[in-house]
């Protein structure tokens, strides 16, 4: 069993053969603008080194780009 969580949308995407993306939080949201903290929460990240597998959509890519300095895309 992987040590990261797969969101419900990502499970459905995997079953349908659509691409997914795994992101890991590498930076702290402390002393960051509220908008960036909220974006991390939207990605399902709230603590260091947490991973989430999400459906690879333009919206998710945009959220990752917004906080690119605090997350990394994990190659599976």
User: If pLDDT is split at 50, 70 and 90, which confidence band does 65 have?
Assistant: very high
Section 14-23 average pLDDT = 91
Question: Does the pLDDT of residue 1 top 60, yes or no?
Answer: no
> Domain map of the chain by residue range?
5-74
Q: How many angstroms separate the CA atoms of 37 and 56, rounded?
A: 21
CATH of the domain spanning 5-74: 3.30.1390.20
Q: How many angstroms separate the CA atoms of 71 and 73, rounded?
A: 7
Q: Tokens representing 72?
A: 């990394």
Q: Note the pTM of the prediction, 2 decimals.
A: 0.87
- DSSP letters for 2-69: -SSEE-HHHHHHHHHT--EEEEEE-S--TTS-HHHHHHHHHTT--STT-EEEEE--HHHHHHHHHTTT
């Amino acid at each position: 069993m992987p040590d990261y969580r797969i969101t419900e949308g990502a499970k459905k995407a995997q079953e349908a053969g659509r691409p997914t993306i795994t992101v890991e939080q590498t930076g702290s949201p402390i002393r960051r603008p509220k908008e960036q903290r909220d974006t991390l929460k939207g990605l399902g990240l709230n603590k260091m080194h947490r991973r989430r597998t999400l459906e690879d959509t333009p919206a998710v890519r945009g959220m990752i780009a917004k906080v690119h300095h605090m997350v990394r895309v994990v190659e599976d």
